[in-house]
């Protein structure tokens, strides 16, 4: 199977890399792969509760994750164990690479949160992005990351955010 072939349901190992190191690795259910976008469903892979102040990720939460091979972001729909939509956590990443059972995603520090009702849209970790030095070491990637964050924010604030995931 090539990395761009369409594929049916099964399992996939999501490998999130940051600054050259594996940040987290987990297995999810592969819902779809149309050759451009890969959709995965997985339970909250963190240990315990992660409280950001504006949202809590906790055991039992379910993430439906959308990754693109041609875009610099991933969008994760977050639902509670009871199915209540909490919102969308968006990671700014290099385009995803799928090779067999593994989906490799490189986190570029920038994130965006959009609440379920759309009233809370916030850019996250811009300080971490600045400290990463990406603007100096890979200016083209840094520009693509910032452009992706702007695009997602525009969609989240009133653009057609739901169409992005349809």
Look at residue 84 in the predicted model and tell me its pLDDT.
97
pLDDT confidence of residue 76: 97
pTM of the model: 0.91
Confidence (pLDDT) at 9 = 65
Mean pLDDT, 10 residues at a time, the chain of 166 residues: 49 94 95 96 91 94 98 98 96 96 96 96 96 95 98 90 87
The pLDDT score that the predictor gives to residue 65 is 98
pLDDT computed for residue 44 by the predictor: 93
Q: CB neighbours (10 Å) of residue 86?
A: 20
Interval 71-105: pLDDT, tens:
999 999 999 999 999 999 999 999 999 998 999 99
154 in helix, strand or coil?
helix
Q: Write the DSSP string, 74-133.
A: EEEEEE-TT--EEEEEEEEESPPEEETTEEEEEEEEEEEEEETTS--EEEE-HHHHHHHT
pLDDT at 5: 42
**3-state DSSP assignment of residue 150:** helix
Tokens linked to 161: 């955010």
Residue 158's SS3 state is: coil
What is the structure's pLDDT at 8?
53
């Amino acid at each position: 199977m090539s990395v761009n072939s369409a594929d049916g349901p099964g399992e996939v190992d999501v490998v999130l890399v940051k600054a050259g190191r594996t940040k987290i690795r987990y297995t999810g259910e592969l819902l779809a792969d149309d050759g451009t976008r890969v959709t995965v469903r997985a339970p909250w892979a963190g240990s315990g509760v992660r409280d950001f102040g504006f949202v809590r990720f906790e055991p039992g939460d379910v993430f439906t994750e959308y990754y693109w091979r041609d875009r610099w972001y991933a969008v994760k729909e977050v639902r509670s164990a009871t199915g209540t939509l909490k919102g969308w956590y968006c990671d700014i990443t290099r385009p995803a690479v799928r090779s067999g059972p593994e989906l490799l995603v490189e986190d570029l520090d920038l994130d965006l949160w959009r609440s379920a009702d759309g009233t809370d849209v916030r850019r996250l970790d811009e300080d971490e992005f600045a400290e990463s030095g990406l603007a100096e070491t890979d200016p083209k990637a840094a520009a693509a990351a910032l452009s992706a964050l702007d695009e997602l924010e525009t969609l989240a604030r009133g653009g057609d955010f739901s169409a992005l995931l349809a």
